[in-house]
Amino acid sequence: MNPVVTVQIDGPIARIEINRPEKLNALNRQVVKELAQAFAELESHPEIRVGILSGAGEKAFAAGADIVEMAEMGTEQARQFSRNGHQVGERIEHARFPVIARVQGFALGGGCELAMACDLIYASDRARFGQPEVSLGVIPGFGGTQRLARRVGVGKCRELVFRGHPIDGAEALRIHLIDGLFSADELVAKVDEIALQIAKHAPIAVSQAKRVMRAGHDVPLPVANELEVQAFGLCFGTEDQKSGMRAFNLDPRKPRTFEGR
């Protein structure tokens, strides 16, 4: 069985690609399994500071879960498929480095849910987003009923899920589903530029910021603030903090380099 998820480590950037362009990168059991494995394995590469998740070809990030495969599932098989999809989302959310979804084309159903598990979503002006599951007799199963509400608000989430209609990139940007919109010709270069900007910063600080923002999202504010206090203090035990502040004091205009220690 040929791999359907490819991983390329390019300096501080990990490029993870779903490679089923003939199926519009639809998410079947194999894709879900390989995505989970890929993100688990990337944790053992300390040089990685940013991940970019994309789909092969120009037509789709991921057009959804594989309907041909799902049509044959029973109740328990469907529950396991959903659990496996959630596992992928959790691996992305708990990755020690930020993950960017680069969306060119369709990000529907499971594809939209996969993108929403990423820290940032940048899309081309050809992108289309949506949760059309109710038109197939099911509901979002990879986190769409939950992550979508957290990104765009409960009311807009209800509208998108109940109506099941896709929206274009401009509307996705307007409702804050995505973080930036570029022309199709610019998308790859712009996302690379953003990834390199992130990669230049202190990786422990970036990782701690990601962890605290994730963990503090659904807890009372005093608890979340204490998470920030603890992570802030932790950063002061790193070599990056010492060298970064020392370099700033010597010359605020000079770029600083960080070793991740």
User: What is the C-alpha separation between 39 and 16, in angstroms, rounded?
Assistant: 9
- Beta-sheet pairing, 60-62 with 99-103: unpaired
Q: From 155, 181, 154, select the one nearest 169 (Cα to Cα).
A: 181
Q: From 102, 117, 97, 136, select the one nearest 32 (Cα to Cα).
A: 117
Q: Are 123 and 152 in contact (CB under 8 A)?
A: no
Question: Does the structure show a pLDDT above 70 at 252?
Answer: no
What confidence category does residue 52 fall into, taking pLDDT thresholds of 50, 70 and 90? very high
Question: Does the structure show a pLDDT above 70 at 138?
Answer: yes
Domain boundaries of the chain, sorted by first residue: 5-199, 203-250
Question: Does the structure show a pLDDT above 90 at 110?
Answer: yes
**Structural domain 5-199, CATH architecture:** Alpha-Beta Complex (3.90)
The single residue of 17, 133, 193, 239 carrying the catalytic annotation is: 133
* Mean pLDDT, range 131-135, rounded to an integer: 95
Residue 113 is among the residues annotated as catalytic for this protein: yes
The single residue of 41, 90, 113, 226 carrying the catalytic annotation is: 113
CATH of 203-250, one of 3.30.70.3280, 1.10.150.80, 1.10.12.10, 1.20.1050.140: 1.10.12.10
pTM for the predicted model, two decimal places: 0.94
* pLDDT tens column, 168-195: 999 999 999 999 999 999 999 999 999 9
